[in-house]
């Protein structure tokens, strides 16, 4: 590793050659195109609003990817003394702060600057050299520090969620705090990991929390003040549509359905698409008879009012912790012989779904993994119907997949040229035990004991059939992905190898060994006439480029 003063000098020389790279740090969300990431930035968690994580960049392609080499490395240090500090926790440091971290966030890249997070922390880094520009630290009052998915941006303001449920607005140029607003109470065991999504003049943010029976919700907030514009609850109130799928007010108003990941968005239809979390109590359903809407569902929401327009439930009455938060990926393409506006989801419950996103019409259901065994049938709506024999039992019952699911929160990718939907999957078994025949005070009367992982597969799925065109064995199952117009797919084998695949065939074309397994989804951007591919592993960011 080069000495700090030498890196600084080299960075100054490089920036002199590209003087406009770190200019204003400002973003107009209305200018983000739909369907592919802008060439010179990565402005949202998904790259654009469609969830495709597809870049039109092709400077790095199948012919030259073998020359891809390391451009720079940045190591995040949460224990360093940040210039900017906020929050209400102890001054000696935030709960969970310090020590080793994992960069699970997808960095934003705007005007030559990378912005990324870890729980309680935000960094700005020069996207060309890897030099730190500023660091912000939040002193949390509690909350689960399991990870943070990243930031949203509006003009020159960044937004991020804290583990103790505050939405914080920062000046993108300096990292100074502009305001903070509480989203939910940490005393109710809510915690926030989601990356805010900004569209036009609304900041959309969700919540997490599986430990108490609290309701999930999604909020739209004013970007300048942080005030709430609307709030949509993931379970109905008494008398509302969907309330008939719960046994009563107590069950539905404490029914869970967390909003773990940012929605996708179709600007032409002006609809948000959100995957909702599992119902509570998590592993038993005796106290919540019924389908338990709107949990484990894909919902379409009007971003101006927060009103739900349609829904599709992928797991009625879930009792295995299979939320449906996985990316609702938006594609325009032919299906059934005519053009459609489609929504694709590779779901945690082990199934693959295709919907018409204009109205929620079901078009296709297939198995995502071969081992899925928890269902008894597929109904006329394409929903897998739970098999009562796969409910938790005192003697145990063998179920596939386990609670981690066939796939999880890690974002997939879609390449419009190949027409393939790329997703990391895992075939697994687990044993669910009912531990208390009286169900216990809160209904948490079941536990899981792993039956083992069978195999992980990176899959390239033809959305018109739901069948895989190619697969590649991996050790990690679910993983974050990136595809590009260079007809490359950037992924991993789960053994610390970062790999570029031929997007059409799955043939590995290049790989490098990282010190840890990659911990986020890769991004790519063009800066100073050079295409970079960036990936996080552990507490480090690695930037790669082709040497000319």
SS3 assignment for 300-328: EECCCCCCEEEEEECCCCCCCCCCCCCCC
- Is the pLDDT score of 537 beyond 90? yes
Averaged pLDDT score across all residues of the chain = 92
Q: Is the pLDDT of residue 173 over 90?
A: yes
440 pLDDT above the threshold of 70: no
- 199 strand-pairing partners: 202
CA distances from residue 164 to 136, 208, 547 in whole angstroms, order as listed: 16, 10, 44
pLDDT at residue 451 above 90?
no
The bridge status of strand 420-434 relative to strand 467-474 is: unpaired
Q: Which residue has the higher pLDDT, 227 or 213?
A: 227
Q: Which of 210, 266, 321, 493 is catalytic?
A: 321
Question: What average pLDDT does range 75-80 have in this prediction?
Answer: 87
The percentage of residues in the chain with a pLDDT greater than 70, rounded to a whole number, is 93
pLDDT for 216 beyond 60: yes
Q: Which helix (H) or strand (E) holds 333?
A: strand 329-335
| Contact by Cβ (8 Å): 418, 460 | yes
Could you tell me the domains of the chain?
4-88+99-546 (2.140.10.10)
What's the average model confidence in pLDDT over 246-255? 94
Q: Is the pLDDT of residue 289 over 60?
A: yes
Mean pLDDT (whole number) for 441-447: 64
pLDDT tens sequence across 102-161 = 999 999 999 999 999 999 999 999 999 999 999 999 999 999 999 999 999 999 999 999
Query: Does residue 16 surpass a pLDDT of 70?
Result: no
Q: What is the pTM of this model?
A: 0.94
User: Mean pLDDT, to the nearest integer, of 406-410?
Assistant: 97
Q: How far is CA 161 from the centre of its chain?
A: 14
Residue 99 has pLDDT above 90, yes or no: no
Check if the beta carbon of residue 369 is closer than 8 Å to that of residue 357: no
pLDDT of residue 436: 74
Which pLDDT score is estimated for 500? 98
Q: What is residue 446's predicted lDDT score, i.e. its pLDDT?
A: 86
pLDDT mean over 244-260: 95
pLDDT tier, 443 (very low <50, low <70, confident <90, very high otherwise) = very low
Please enumerate in sequence order all residues whose Cβ is within 8 A of that of 121, keeping only pairs 6 or more positions apart, or say none: 76, 78, 82, 97, 101, 135, 136, 137, 138
pLDDT of residue 438: 64
Sorted by sequence, the CB contacts under 8 Å of residue 332 that are 6+ apart come out as: 35, 339, 340, 341, 342
- Categorize the per-residue pLDDT at 79 as very low, low, confident or very high, splitting at 50, 70 and 90: confident
Asked whether the predicted pLDDT for residue 255 surpasses 70, the reply is yes
Two tokens, residue 283? 């592993």
Interval 315-332: pLDDT, tens: 999 999 999 999 999 999
Q: What is the pLDDT at residue 286?
A: 87
User: In the annotation, is 164 catalytic?
Assistant: no
pLDDT at 92: 58
Kindly write down the DSSP assignment for every residue of 160-201, as one continuous string.
Answer: EE-TTSEEEEEETTT--EEEEEE-S-GGGT-B--PPPEEETT
Q: Which residue has the tokens 């392609």?
A: 61
């Amino acid at each position: 590793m080069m000495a700090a003063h030498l890196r600084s000098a080299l960075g100054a020389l490089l920036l002199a050659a590209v003087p406009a790279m770190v200019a204003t740090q400002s973003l107009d969300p209305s200018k983000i195109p739909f369907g592919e990431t802008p060439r010179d930035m990565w402005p949202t968690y998904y790259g654009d609003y469609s969830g495709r994580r597809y870049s039109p960049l092709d400077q790095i392609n199948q012919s030259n990817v073998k020359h891809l080499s390391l451009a720079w490395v940045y190591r995040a240090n949460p224990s360093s003394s940040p210039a900017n500090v906020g929050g209400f926790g102890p001054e000696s440091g935030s709960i969970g702060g310090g020590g080793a971290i994992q960069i699970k966030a997808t960095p934003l890249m705007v005007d030559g600057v990378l912005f990324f997070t870890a729980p309680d922390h935000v960094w700005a880094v020069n996207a060309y050299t890897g030099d730190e520009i500023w660091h912000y630290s939040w002193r949390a009052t509690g909350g689960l520090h399991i990870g943070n998915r990243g930031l949203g941006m509006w003009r020159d303001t960044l937004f991020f969620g804290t583990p103790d449920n505050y939405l914080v607005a920062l000046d993108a140029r300096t990292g100074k705090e502009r305001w903070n607003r509480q989203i939910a109470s940490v005393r109710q065991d809510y915690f926030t990991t989601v990356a805010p999504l900004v569209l036009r003049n609304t900041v959309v943010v969700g919540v997490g929390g599986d430990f108490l029976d609290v309701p999930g919700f999604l909020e739209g907030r004013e970007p300048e003040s942080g005030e709430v514009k609307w709030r949509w609850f993931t379970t109905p109130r008494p008398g509302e549509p969907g309330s008939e799928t719960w046994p009563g007010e107590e069950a539905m108003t404490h029914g869970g359905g967390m909003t773990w990941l940012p929605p996708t968005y179709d600007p032409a239809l002006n609809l948000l698409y959100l995957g909702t979390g599992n119902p509570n109590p998590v592993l038993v359903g005796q106290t919540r008879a019924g389908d338990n809407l709107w949990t484990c569902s894909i919902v379409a929401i009007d971003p101006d009012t927060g009103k739900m327009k349609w829904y599709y439930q992928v797991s009625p009455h879930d009792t295995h912790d299979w939320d449906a938060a996985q990316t609702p990926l938006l594609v325009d393409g032919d299906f059934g012989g005519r053009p459609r506006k489609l929504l694709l989801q590779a779901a945690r419950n082990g199934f693959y779904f295709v919907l018409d996103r204009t109205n929620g019409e079901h078009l296709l259901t297939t198995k995502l993994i071969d081992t899925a065994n928890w269902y008894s049938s597929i109904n006329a709506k394409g929903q897998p119907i739970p098999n009562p024999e796969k409910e938790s039992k005192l003697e145990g019952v063998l179920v596939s997949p386990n609670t981690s699911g066939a796939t999880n929160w890690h974002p997939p990718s879609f390449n419009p040229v190949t027409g393939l939907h790329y997703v990391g999957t895992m075939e697994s078994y687990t044993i669910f035990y009912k531990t208390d025949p009286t169900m216990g005070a809160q209904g948490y009367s079941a536990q899981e004991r792993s039956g083992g992982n069978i195999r992980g597969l990176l899959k390239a799925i033809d959305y018109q059939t739901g069948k895989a065109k190619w697969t590649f064995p991996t050790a990690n199952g679910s993983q974050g992905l990136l595809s590009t117009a260079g007809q490359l797919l950037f992924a991993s084998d789960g053994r610390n190898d970062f790999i570029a695949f031929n997007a059409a065939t799955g043939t590995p074309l290049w790989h490098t060994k990282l010190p840890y397994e990659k911990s986020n989804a890769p991004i790519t951007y063009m800066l100073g006439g050079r295409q970079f591919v960036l990936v996080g592993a552990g507490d480090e960011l690695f930037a790669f480029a082709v040497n000319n």
